[in-house]
Amino acid sequence: MMMIVGLFIVIATVYFLIKQYDARFVLLASGIIMACIGGVPMSSLDSFAKNMTNGGLIQAVCSVMGFAMVMKITQCDKHLINFMAKALSRFRPFLIPGVVLATYAVNVALPSAAGTAAAAGAIFVPLMMSAGVHPAMAAAAVKCGTYGSMLNPGLAHNPFVAKIAGVSVMDVISFHYKANIASLLTAAVVITLTAYYLKEHKGYQSTRFEADESFKVNYLYALMPILPIAILIVCSTLFVDKVKMDVPQAMLIGAAVSLFVTRTHPVNLSNAFFEGMGKAYGSIIGIIISAGVFVSGLTAMGLVNNFMDIMLNNPAIVKICAAVGPFVLGVIMGSGDAATFAFNEAITPHAQDFGLSQVQMGSMATLGGTLGRTMSPIAGATIIVAGIAGVNPMEIAKRNCLPMVLAMVVGMFFLLN
């Protein structure tokens, strides 16, 4: 009877998430209700309190989003994107795959899919449309590159998996970066072939946009968004024994250098940094806290143990569940975060029971959820680029369907080998 009630609550949770109710409220409410039914109501509240002070995770996510806000007010992100746009405009045959790669690079430095879609889409969509690319294909190319954040140490899933596995964030990234790059190249090639097959790579006459070539790029400004990533890479490879550099330190250095380079008022820059940190805690850390409460409810009702038993008796389905589960939920919910956090919290700690490492299983779930969200017609980033291009979000999802599915297959192949 407990199993039936638990499954009913889980189905109701998924339903409300699909209907775009606030993920934090839905997960919190479901977790508390299940904990009460399971007879241990305090377990959900204890989980809430525990996850509120998840030090390493809070440091990484909040500092990265603070730096992203600094890049926005200094317009360094705009200089980076315009620099890429000017370079791409000289190589028209490579425009579509180039935009995918360029958007991906922007998302590595600025780890917000919606923020990247807005910033990159405002430049790249008009650029492609003025070059004759169909509006839906132009928007789809930008959307196709909005999962570069997986290579950013501050993406919430990277420190989350690192904490579970007891390794550093850079260890997690160094494990999955090959799979991530392979999936990106697959997606870029497939969406380009799709554009040629649909004859949407040229011939469109844009009446809305003309290429803006008047913007003067400051190359020093354009370097600022990627500076912290470069610092982390250099310190973790060349000076690992001499300099202990973690995400918050790199982000603060990047913000400080940006202050001197752009000569922004120090108070404005400081306010922007802390505003970004606050938003990160409320929106990103909030989902992690809520997912932990949800999992505590699942545990209280015995659903986690039952799910574990099913997978132990059928180990062949574990790999499918880790990849396809978060992918499908990412598509139908428009966000891979809730499903991925819940899966990693409940199942990834037991990865070794299924012949996988915790980093391996966590990376599979993260990549699956991220690619599913990239394909979703109701994701915030999809709606943003659809608005810029003036098309229906479903038209973007149709064009991204095959690239994302094949990207997932290729990415999982790399992660499992």
Q: Could you report the per-residue pLDDT of 150-163, keeping only the tens digit for each? A: 998 878 899 999 99
Residue carrying structure tokens 């600025």: 110
Q: 23-37 vs 286-300: helix axis angle to the nearest 10?
A: 20
Overall average pLDDT of the 160-181 stretch: 92
Q: DSSP for 100-117? A: HHHHHHHHHHS--HHHHH
304 touches 7 (CB < 8 A): no
Identify the pLDDT of residue 414.
94
| Highest averaged pLDDT of the listed ranges 67-76, 244-253, 379-388 | 67-76
Distance CA 281, CA 285 (A): 5
Identify the pLDDT of residue 108.
85
Residues 6+ apart with CB under 8 A from 15: none
Overall average pLDDT of the 130-135 stretch: 84
The 10s digit of each residue's pLDDT in 7-53 is 888 889 878 877 778 878 988 999 999 999 988 989 989 989 988 88
* Residue 1 scores a pLDDT above 80: no
54 touches 286 (CB < 8 A): no
Q: DSSP for 133-171? A: --HHHHHHHHHHTTTGGGGSTTSTHHHHHHHHHTS-HHH
| Highest averaged pLDDT of the listed ranges 4-8, 202-206, 209-213 | 4-8
Distance CA 155, CA 170 (A): 12
**Residue boundaries of the structural domains of the chain:** 2-415
* Residue 111 scores a pLDDT above 70: yes
Chain centroid offset of residue 93 CA: 29
**Which amino acid would we find at residue 323?**
A
With cut-offs at 50, 70 and 90, classify the pLDDT of residue 386. Answer: confident
- 195 versus 296: which is more confidently predicted? 195
Alpha-carbon Rg for the chain in angstroms: 21
170 touches 359 (CB < 8 A): no
126 touches 168 (CB < 8 A): no
Percent of the chain at pLDDT > 90 equals 32
Identify the pLDDT of residue 411.
95
Identify the pLDDT of residue 178.
94
Identify the pLDDT of residue 237.
67
Identify the pLDDT of residue 241.
61
Overall average pLDDT of the 217-233 stretch: 85
Residue carrying structure tokens 């190359």: 219
Of 14-18, 27-31, 232-236, 400-404, the range with the lowest mean pLDDT is: 232-236
